[in-house]
């Protein structure tokens, strides 16, 4: 999968005083909105509806909500069977289980036959409500990105998530969607329209190119503010689609800045950092740093602690930017 679409340029809303919205709530509400337009949309749940907020859908559209119990492997197979009849199943479980517990099922009956199943991973990254490493997800991007034909999408905020879900519904094919648990700032204006593939340039600066995905992009914007206060002009490229990746945007960013820093709430192995390094390694070798989990699993702790301890904070991103500027 390669992206040929054009990179968008968007002025983000200011972080100070930004509206805080939990993506999981928006996910549940958006499913209800989509159900009104798409009679073939169904939701299958792995007994986590009140965590993923599929319960919002279950209450509003009960005849298209199907509880599958704690049996993710079967849930994926049922979804594949329903997809052959023209239904569009959206799956409700945690990213850790979507990517790991049902991996072979995803591979055999969704990815290989390229069926129209929308695989949603709730509770992505490590900010999962003090659940610890078993329920955190630091390798899901790597797993889904490696699967031929599976689009991999990580929206930054409520506006982008809502738009991305409509795009996913309008576009047939297997897709994986990352959905975070806790409230995060809304950075996109209401009129923003997500498209599968293209990156979004949120800020232009010539000293360093910062690349984010998912809600981590909001912390990247924060890092750009920090750097600006030190006189460093950073570009910020948001890549809501990990696959197909917007290689053109990455190369253009490298050409403009000469230095790249990636930031993700995921392992730096196989995730955004790897995806960007793959593009640059082949097309425009550029000094870079990858910020994220450094080949470790997380732990159960408050978010503020985890953000600092596992390399997610704006400070970590800014530090990596300074490093790459000094050494390149």
Partner 1 sequence: MAPGGAPLPGGYNGATMPLGPAKAATGMKEHVAMTVDAASERANQAQSRPSLDELRRTSAEARKLIVQAIHHAGAGHLGGPMSAADLLVALYFDRMRIDPARPDWPGRDRFILSKGHSSIALYTVLAMRGYFPTEELMTFDAAHSRLQGHPDMHALPGLEMSTGSLGQGLSPGAGMALGAKVRGDAFHTWVMLGDGEIQEGQIWEAAFMAARYGLDNLTAILDYNGLPQFGWPQRGGFTREIPIDDPGGKFRAFGWNVLECDGHDHASIREALDAAQAFTGQPTCVVAHTVKGKGVSYMEGDFNWHAKVPSDEQLASALSELDDQIAAIGEEAAA
The residue (of 69 and 129) whose beta carbon lies closer to partner 1 is 69
148 binds partner 1 (CB under 8 A): no
Which is nearest to 27 in space by CA: 94, 126, 107, 102? 94
In the list 6, 84, 134, 283, the residue contacting partner 1 (rule: CB under 8 A) is 84
Region from 14-22, 57-65, 229-237, 242-250 binding partner 1, contact rule CB under 8 A: 57-65
The smaller minimum CB distance to partner 1, of residues 62 and 231, is found at 62
Q: Which stretch binds partner 1 (CB under 8 A): 111-119, 146-154, 196-204, 311-319?
A: 111-119
Cα–Cα distance for residue pair 12/187, rounded to 1 Å: 5
Let me know if 149 is exposed, middle or buried by CB neighbors in 10 A (0-12, 13-18, 19+): middle
HSE-up of residue 139 (Cα within 13 Å, Cβ side): 14
- Tell me if 296 contacts partner 1 by CB under 8 A: no
Name residues contacting partner 1, limited to 11-50 (CB under 8 A). 38-40, 42
Query: Does residue number 1 form part of the binding site for partner 1 (CB under 8 A)?
Result: no
Q: Helix 23-37 and helix 158-170: axis angle, to 10°?
A: 30
Establish if 67 lies at the interface with partner 1 (CB under 8 A).
yes
* Distance of alpha carbon 178 from alpha carbon 167, whole angstroms: 14
Between CA 282 and CA 211 the distance in angstroms is 18
Q: Of 166 and 256, which CB lies nearer to partner 1 in the complex structure?
A: 166
Q: Is 166 in the site for partner 1 (CB under 8 A)?
A: no
Answer for which of 6, 9, 104, 170 binds partner 1 (CB under 8 A) is 104
In the bound complex, what is the minimum distance in angstroms from residue 140's beta carbon to partner 1? 20
Report d(CA 323, CA 302) in Å as an integer.
Answer: 28
For position 87 contacting partner 1 by CB under 8 A, the verdict is yes
Q: Six-digit token pair at 155?
A: 């929206």
Write down the least CB distance from residue 62 to partner 1, Å.
Answer: 4
Strand arrangement of the beta sheet that strand 260-267 belongs to: 8-9, 200-203, 234-238, 208-212, 260-267, 288-293
Is 70 or 296 the residue whose CB approaches partner 1 more closely? 70
Q: In 10 A of CB 241, how many CB atoms?
A: 27
Nearest 5°: phi and psi at 291?
A: -110, 130
Using the contact rule CB under 8 A, the part of the chain among 8-16, 105-113, 222-230, 246-254 near partner 1 is 105-113
**Catalytic-residue membership of 191:** no
Q: Reply yes or no: is the peptide bond before residue 244 cis, omega within 30 of 0.
A: yes
Phi, psi angles (nearest 5°) of residue 325: -70, -45
* Catalytic, out of 33, 72, 160, 304: 72
Residues forming contacts to partner 1 in the complex (CB under 8 A) are 38-40, 42, 58, 61-69, 71, 73-87, 104-105, 107-109, 112-114
Give me the active site residues, please: 72
């Amino acid at each position: 999968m390669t992206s040929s679409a054009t990179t968008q340029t968007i002025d983000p809303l200011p972080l100070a005083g930004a509206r805080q919205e939990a993506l999981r709530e928006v996910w549940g509400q958006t499913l209800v909105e989509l159900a009104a337009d798409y009679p073939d949309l169904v939701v299958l749940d792995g007994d986590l509806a009140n965590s993923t907020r599929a319960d919002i859908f279950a209450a509003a559209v009960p005849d298209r909500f199907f509880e599958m119990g704690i049996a993710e492997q079967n849930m994926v197979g049922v979804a594949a069977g329903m997809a052959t009849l023209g239904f569009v199943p959206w799956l409700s479980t945690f990213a850790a289980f979507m990517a790991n517990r049902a991996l072979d099922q995803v591979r055999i009956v969704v990815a290989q036959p390229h069926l129209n199943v929308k695989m949603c991973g709730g509770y992505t990254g490590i900010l999962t409500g003090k659940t610890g490493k078993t329920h955190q997800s630091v390798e899901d991007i790597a797993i889904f990105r490696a699967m031929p034909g599976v689009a991999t999408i990580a929206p930054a905020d409520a506006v982008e998530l809502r738009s991305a879900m409509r795009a996913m519904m309008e576009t047939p094919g297997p897709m994986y969607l990352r959905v975070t648990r806790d409230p995060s700032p809304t950075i996109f204006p209401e009129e923003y329209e997500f498209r599968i593939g293209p990156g979004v340039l949120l800020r232009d600066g010539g000293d360093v190119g910062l690349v984010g995905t998912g809600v981590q992009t909001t912390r990247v914007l924060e890092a750009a503010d920090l750097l600006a206060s030190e006189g460093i002009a950073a570009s910020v490229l948001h890549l809501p689609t990990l696959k197909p990746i917007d290689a053109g945007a990455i190369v253009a960013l490298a050409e403009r800045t000469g230095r790249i820093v990636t930031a993700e709430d995921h392992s730096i192995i196989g995730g955004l950092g790897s995806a960007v390094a793959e593009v640059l390694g082949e097309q425009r070798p550029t000094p870079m740093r990858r910020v994220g989990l450094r080949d470790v699993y997380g732990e159960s702790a408050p978010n503020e602690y985890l953000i600092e301890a596992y390399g997610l904070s704006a400070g970590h991103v800014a530090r990596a930017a300074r490093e790459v500027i000094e050494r390149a």
